[in-house]
Amino acid sequence: MESTQRDHPRMLTSLIEAWRIGDALRAAAHFTLDGRFGEAGREALAGRDALVAHFTRFFRDGPRWRFDVDDLIIDGERACVVYRFAVEGTGSIWRERAGCAVVLFDPSGAIAEWREYEG
């Protein structure tokens, strides 16, 4: 099946929704089997099993968080997701940072790589 740009917004929206509801299996399923996920300043994780483990730990053990998309730029098999990520700190004080993720899709429309950069 050949990917179309039209599918990419749906794929990204579905991934972010899976993150928001804490569904690690569904989130990882948006990536290719050898897909890569890299948070800003960290070594990228590779492979769906590593992504499931990472997402599971974060959803289970991590702080309360928000992920708000400000802009989505798509060109062919690439996308840029401009976002704000916030975590709840001590005393219900939220710490927010801006960032963007460069996303590469494979021909099937799955995410081959998600690489974050802080703004």
Evaluate whether 21 touches 52 at the Cβ level (below 8 Å).
no
Instruction: Give residue 91's pLDDT.
Output: 83
Residue 3 CB contacts under 8 Å (≥ 6 apart), including other chains: 77, 105, 106, 107, 108, 109
Q: For residue range 57-114, list pLDDT tens digits in order.
A: 999 998 899 999 999 999 999 999 999 999 998 888 999 999 999 999 999 999 999 9
Mean pLDDT (the chain) is: 92
Residue 1 lies in a domain: no
Q: What's the start-to-end Cα distance of the chain, in Å?
A: 35
d(CA 103, CA 36): 10
Residue 2 lies in a domain: no
Residue 99 lies in a domain: yes
Q: Residue 88 maps to which CATH number?
A: 3.10.450.50
Residue 56 lies in a domain: yes
Q: Domain tally for the chain?
A: 1
Whole-prediction pTM value?
0.89
Number of H helices, E strands in the chain: 3, 6
Residue 109 lies in a domain: yes
Q: Write out the residue range of the structural domain in which residue 72 sits.
A: 7-118
